[in-house]
Structures are given as C-alpha cells and as structure tokens.
Chains A and B, each alone.
Chain A
Amino acid sequence: MLTTVAAGRVYDYSYCIGMYSQDGRGFWAPQDFVLGPNGRIYVLSRGVEQLGQRITKINLDHEFQGQFGSVGEGDGQMVWPRSIDLDRTGRVFVSDEYLNRVTIYSEEGSYRYHWGRSGSEDGQLNGPSGIAFDSQGTVWVVDSLNHRVQSFNQIGEFQSKFGKRGDGDGDLEMPWGICIDRQDNIYVADWGNNRVQKFAPTGELLVKFQGSGAGVGSLKGPSGVAVDSDGDVYVTDWGNHRVQIYAADGQYITALVGDAQEPSPWAQTYIDANPDIIKARRRTDLEPEWRFRRPVAVNVDADDRIIVLESYHHRLQIYNKLKDYEEPSINL
C-alpha cells in the first residue's frame, strides 16, 4: 500500500531514487548510505569482485554530483566496503570488511587516512561492518566476525567494547548494521540472532526488537536500523525483504514492503531509450520490481522521512511519516 496506517502512525510512500549502474550515475549492490548537509546523499556501492566499488554523491532531487573511491587495497581504495557515516565536520568514514580498516575521506571524497588492524585483540578488527558516530564524536564499529562492537576515536584509537558471541541477552552473532540515537544509545542489527538489540553506551542491554513468539514482527537476518524523532525503530529485515517498524519499547507496529511503482527519473530515461523493454514491461506484472528486495540500510532524516536502500534493486525508496494526516471519507 502506498499509505500504511498503523497504531497511530501514517507512512506515505513518496518516491524513489537511483537505478543499477556499474559506474557513474546509479548504484551497484549498494550496502549503505548517509545523509549529508543540503540534501546530499552518499551511497556506498559494494559492486562485485573487482568492479563497481565506489561512493556516489547525489542529492534528494536526483542530481548526480560525482563519485569517489575505487577497487583495490591502496590508500583510499576498497575491496568489501560495507558502511558509511559522516563525522561532525562532514568527513566521510567508510568501513571495509575485507581490508579490516576504516578509511576517511574529505567531504568531497579526497582520501585522508585510514586505520584498523586485523585480529581479535582490543582495537583489532575482523570484518568491520556497521559504523556510526555518537554525539561525542566517538565512532562505533560493528566488529562482525569478532561478534562485538568496539568504539574508537577518530584516529582509530581503541576506546571501549561490548558483546560476545552467543544467543543470550546482549550476545551477538555476526552483527551487521548499527545506529545511534539522540541519547547515544546503540542499536545493533544482530544478524545471526534475528533481532536488534539496543544498548546503553556502557554496553548494558536495554531493549530487544524481535517481535512476539508467534512470528509477528519477527526478523530474518536484519541488516540495518534507524530511529526517528518519536523513538520509533526501523529495521531492514534483509532476509524477509521488508522494513519492520517497532515502538521504542520493542512493541511491533507494522511493516513497509516497498512501493516504487513509478521508476526513478534515471530509470525512466533508461526505459524510454529501449522500445523492447517498454513492450516487455507492458506484458507483465511489475510488482516484484516495486517491492523491496534485500533492503540493507535505512536512515531517517530530520523531517522523519524514512529512506530505505535496497541492495538487490540498487535503489532508495523514500517514505514520509505524516503527522497531520486526515483519514479519507470512508464512504467514497
């Protein structure tokens, strides 16, 4: 449904951005994105094997503003980039699960430096995936194959850690994405345990998001998480191809499943150039195309717009959380 109404919340589908592209305008198996100033969006493409890794600069008006980063092990390059975030000055931090490092670029994408060493000691990394900044400028890194979360200062000095492998409360199993709310609480997508856990900065477990025992509100391999201004929590339910929404206390609210019935302007240009594709699209049910497939990351902007990134469909879908929604007449 283009408009989803549940538990006093209204989610209204707005539009989508992007399309598949091995290079340039578009994304390829994107894994994460971050919202910058002036409507800027940085989208991190994973590509595949030795092709397509990059950070694409766009804005909410579909403007392609360039790209940076390339495949390789050299300075400023990446092999398995997974997560991206900005520090308070707008510098771009990117984690690389293969190189076990975090690379820092300027706002426009010039390489600055990188840090991170392989291993399982304090401050060492094995498959760093989600990264996020707290209000103090500390960067939190999901150290996924060490099944923990570690924090660092901006030059990569170890600060703290929490979590260990397991399925008990507070344990982690190949955790993936991360986000931090305005109170500096930490939400971790606990991929292998099919749940999201909310921790205090000390590592103390606060809330688990995993739905009820009967399967309502459940998760399968959650990948990303975000929190809105009301404290509602959005989880990209990667294995179930949907976004699950929970109240702050863990109560399940509803799901979004993707509504991109209208191709993005970039995609429409592509379709328009190919008469055969136009014909073929008119002969089939396009629903699989507009639904989410492998939603991998979610962010909420200052206006409580919920923006979802799909890895398989190489696209962002944008929903508004309406605060002043009036019900339509029921007897229409």
Chain B
Amino acid sequence: MPHQEDIRLMAHLMRRAGFGDTREELEERVSKGYEAVVEELLHPERQPAIDDELLYRFFPGYEGAGALPINQANWVFRMVNTKRPLEEKMALFWHQLFATSNSKVDNPLELTRQIAIFREYGLGTYRDLLVEVAKSPAMIFWLDNQGNRDGAINENWGRELLELFSLGVGNYSEDDIREAARAFTGWTIAPKIPRNPYGRFHWLFDYKPEDHDHREKTFLGYTGNFNGEDIVDIIADQPATARFLARHLYAFFVADEPHVASWNVTPPVDPEAIDLLADAYHESRGDIRSILRVLFNSEFFKNARFARVKSPAELIVGTVRMAGNYKGFKPGFNNLALECGWQGQGLLNPPSVEGWHTGSEWIDPGVLMRRVNFAARIFGDVSLPGVQAIVKRVLVNVHVHGDSSPQAIVEACLDAMGPLEVNSATHSELIAHAEKCGDLAWSTPEEFRATMRNVTRILTLIAASREYQFA
C-alpha cells in the first residue's frame, strides 16, 4: 500500500499538471515515484498522442468543423482522453496567455489549429513558441497584423506582444511598440479558399517582403534592420520576460494571482518563487520544460494544495474523468464544451486578449450553482462507471477496516474522490449527514441499494462543497 501522503501529493500534481486522475491511476503513478512522474509529464512525446485518424473516423464532422461548439468539443475530447495530460494542460495555459477569441476571428477551425501549435511548441523554448504564435493566422487576424504594412503601421500585435505576451506594462516605451510593429510589417495571411460550399480550408501564414518595412529600427536599445524574429529574439532574452512568464506559470500551476492587468502595481504572492522560476528561465534560455521541472519539484508547489479555484474546464474535465462517463468515443462532447461556456469559460472564445479573470473571479452565485449542480449530478449518478468504482472502494475500505462509523465512511469517500481535504466545519457537516443515514449494510439487495444511495449522497455533498471548487 502506498503511503497516503504520497497519494495526496500525486493527486495534487495530477490536478495541476493534468485534469486529475482516479484513485487507481494515482496509485499506479505513485509506484513510479514523484520525480519520475514529473519527468514523464514533461515528456508527453513518450506517451501516445490522440490518434487523429481514429478520432476523425468516429467523428468525421469534427474534422474541419465550422461550428464553435464542435471545435470546443474536439479539444474537450482530448482533455478528457489524453495520455499526455501536461501537453493538454499547457495548451490551456497558453490559450489563457495568448487569448485569441472566436468573437472576432469567427473561424473556430483556425483557433483549433492555434491550440495545436500550443501542443507542439508548448514545452519548448518561449522564443520558438512566440515565433509560431506570431505566424498563427488566427493571431494575425485577431490582432490585425494583416493590415500592418510598410507605410501603414498597425500597432495592435506589437503592443500586445510586449504588454500581454512577454514584457508586461512598464518595461517598454511607446516607441518600442511602434518599432516592434514595424518589424512585423508584411506578416500576413495568404488569400484562402472561402468557407463552403465544400467545407473549410485552412488559413496560411504569408510573408510579403514588399509590405515589409526594411529600414532600420531601434528596439529596447538595440538597433538594426530587424524583422519579426529578431524582435522575438530580443524579447526572449529580457529579464522582464522571464519574470512575466514565471508569474503566469505560478498563477496557473501554483496559486491564484490577481489578474495580469494589475501586475505592474500588485506584487507577486510569492516573490521568491517568481525569482526561482525566472532564474530557471535564464539558465535554460527560456526552455519551458526546464522551468516546469523546477516548478513541479519545488516545495512551494508541493505545499500549494487546494490554493487555486478550478477553472470551469478543470472542474468539468476533472469531474468526468473521475466519473469515467466520457471515456473514448461517444456522442456528447459538445455538451461538455457548452457547459464550460455556461460556467464562464467558453473555450476558443475568451472575453478579450487579456484572457479570463481567474481565481475567485470565476465564481458568482449563478456560476457557483451551475458548478455545484454539474459535479453533484455526476457524483449522484451511480450508473456511471467511475462513481461505481468510488462507491466500491468506499465499501471495500469500510469492510477491510471493519469500521462502518460515519467518520470512517466520510473519510473513505473523501479518499476515494481525491484524496480531497476539507476544513473541519465541512467535515463535521458531512459526518452529521452520514449519521442520519445510519449504518451501512449489504446483506440483502435492498440494504445494498440503500447503502449505495447513502454513499452516493455523501459523494454528492462532497461534490457540492466549497472545497471541491479548488484544485
């Protein structure tokens, strides 16, 4: 039997670096050791990818889909079924950072392709990723760079590149924005076949030398005849970029931070952690994988359990992964995707280039009701394989220890659903409820059914608790 503390730590790692694991999966991982699991997560290429050919055989309408919910569903399918949890989690991280929205792009297929960039480059160097993002047709259109030409500078991409994608406010001048924008003149989208009547066709990046401003630029103190990639090279070497990215990683993987818009006036929650991550950035020359290795192995990460409010995608995907009701190919992933939107995180459709407001800002009374009802409905459904597995584990646990007291049952439920930790007030409410249910018994089918129902109700209450809202 693995040590309970190891299981708790592994559950924490998998909630953060993935979308949570079942109790059985956690035990398997613990047997490999924490650092080995971190390494495994950091190398998604060592696990099989989602087989696109298989996916599109079963879901032919997902390939080249024009509808936003179907493109969202394509992603949710991957989040739920991936064998590469960190790859998918990083895609979500980069989507939050490089927030590009269908509300303007109106081409969800191109946003799906941008997410694929995050999968492919999301654990490489920040420099390479920035170049790919700069060439992403969805990003070009989102920030108007197709209109950025020599003699007609459009600063939108240049501005957001510095403000929201690298340095952060206060670390550049208005001149730097203009010079960066000049360097990206001519980075545009090739004319494409319009959508329909024969489906959708991809946008392609196009560099038009005749639209590029070939004159000298001065950017952050460097002078030269810069093109876009030169600007990215300079940006990627800036200490401000290292700190900016460190803070984003901290907010996403460690603990809630205030929204990015206030970072120039609000200091980090844990400045030492940011220093450590920024150092890792410098030492690795911006290698994301190396920074995350430091992060996941750090004490501040290991100690930050339940320090973040789950995003809707984390809540929804984590819940159905646990319940096992969306394993493999089946209809209905679009319903999960829509639910994300109704809880305030319409994937591929963030509210603005600043991404979603996270932490407690995910929550208002209406959204909380949705989140509670969603998770409670799933854990209340004993027909689902994962819920059955949890109930079974609870009953086995109770049986093995010969202790069917309300305390033992609640402990077993919290353990099987996580392990989760709840504060003492919640704990005593759960026990008070368990007491009302009476003893567990299973000598007759009626008793067994009543026992299943009683355990399911405790699971329902745990899913409805405040604590379940935290990752």
The one of B69, B198, B331 in contact with A80, judged by C-beta atoms closer than 8 angstroms, is: B331
- B53, A239: Cβ atoms under 8 Å? yes
Known: A284-B193, A296-B60. A314 touches B198 (CB 8 A): yes
Determine whether B197 belongs to the interface, using a CB cutoff of 8 Å to chain A: yes
Known: A19-B198, A49-B331, A294-B63. A221 touches B193 (CB 8 A): no
Q: How large is the interface on B (under 10, 10 to 19, 20 to 34, 35 or more residues)?
A: 20 to 34
The one of B56, B70, B192, B197 in contact with A20, judged by C-beta atoms closer than 8 angstroms, is: B197
Determine whether A209 belongs to the interface, using a CB cutoff of 8 Å to chain B: no
Q: Tell me, rounded to whole Å, the shortest Cβ–Cβ distance linking A308 to chain B.
A: 14
Determine whether B65 belongs to the interface, using a CB cutoff of 8 Å to chain A: yes
Q: Tell me, rounded to whole Å, the shortest Cβ–Cβ distance linking B69 to chain A.
A: 8
Q: How large is the interface on A (under 10, 10 to 19, 20 to 34, 35 or more residues)?
A: 35 or more
Chain A contacts for B56, CB-based, 8 A: 294
Chain A contacts for B73, CB-based, 8 A: 49
Name the residue of chain B whose CB is nearest to the CB of A49.
B334
Q: How far is the CA of A267 from the CA of B381 in the complex (A)?
A: 47
Q: Is the interface of B mostly helix, strand, loop or mixed?
A: loop
Determine whether A323 belongs to the interface, using a CB cutoff of 8 Å to chain B: no
A-B pair number, CB within 8 angstroms: 91
- B191, A280: Cβ atoms under 8 Å? yes
Determine whether A52 belongs to the interface, using a CB cutoff of 8 Å to chain B: yes
- A280, B192: Cβ atoms under 8 Å? yes
Chain B contacts for A52, CB-based, 8 A: 61
- A311, B194: Cβ atoms under 8 Å? no
- B61, A263: Cβ atoms under 8 Å? no
Determine whether B3 belongs to the interface, using a CB cutoff of 8 Å to chain A: no
Name the residue of chain B whose CB is nearest to the CB of A278.
B194
- A98, B331: Cβ atoms under 8 Å? yes
Determine whether B333 belongs to the interface, using a CB cutoff of 8 Å to chain A: yes
Chain B contacts for A79, CB-based, 8 A: 331
Contact digits for A267-280, partner B, Cβ 8 Å, 1 yes 0 no: 10011000011001
Contact digits for B317-331, partner A, Cβ 8 Å, 1 yes 0 no: 000000000000011
- A281, B193: Cβ atoms under 8 Å? yes
Contact digits for A12-29, partner B, Cβ 8 Å, 1 yes 0 no: 000000011000001011
- B60, A31: Cβ atoms under 8 Å? yes
- B192, A311: Cβ atoms under 8 Å? no
Chain A contacts for B197, CB-based, 8 A: 19-20, 26, 263-264, 266-267, 270-271, 314
- A50, B331: Cβ atoms under 8 Å? yes
Q: How far is the CA of A98 from the CA of B331 in the complex (A)?
A: 9
> Which of A163-171, A227-235, A285-293 forms part of the interface with chain B?
A285-293
Determine whether A93 belongs to the interface, using a CB cutoff of 8 Å to chain B: no
Q: How far is the CA of A286 from the CA of B198 in the complex (A)?
A: 11
- A280, B60: Cβ atoms under 8 Å? no
Q: Tell me, rounded to whole Å, the shortest Cβ–Cβ distance linking B340 to chain A.
A: 15
Determine whether B57 belongs to the interface, using a CB cutoff of 8 Å to chain A: yes
Determine whether A47 belongs to the interface, using a CB cutoff of 8 Å to chain B: yes
Chain A contacts for B192, CB-based, 8 A: 280, 284
Q: Tell me, rounded to whole Å, the shortest Cβ–Cβ distance linking A155 to chain B.
A: 28
Name the residue of chain B whose CB is nearest to the CB of A73.
B331
Determine whether A64 belongs to the interface, using a CB cutoff of 8 Å to chain B: no
Determine whether B64 belongs to the interface, using a CB cutoff of 8 Å to chain A: yes
Q: How far is the CA of A270 from the CA of B69 in the complex (A)?
A: 25
Determine whether A195 belongs to the interface, using a CB cutoff of 8 Å to chain B: no
- A50, A97, A264, A284 — most chain B CB neighbours (10 Å): A284
Which 4 pairs, one residue from A and one from B, show the smallest C-beta to C-beta distance?
A48-B61, A19-B197, A267-B197, A29-B61
The 11 sampled A-B contact pairs (Cβ below 8 Å) are A48-B70, A49-B331, A50-B331, A97-B58, A239-B53, A260-B198, A270-B197, A276-B194, A277-B196, A294-B60, A313-B199
| B interface, CB within 8 angstroms of A | 53, 56-65, 67, 69-70, 73, 190-194, 196-199, 201, 330-334
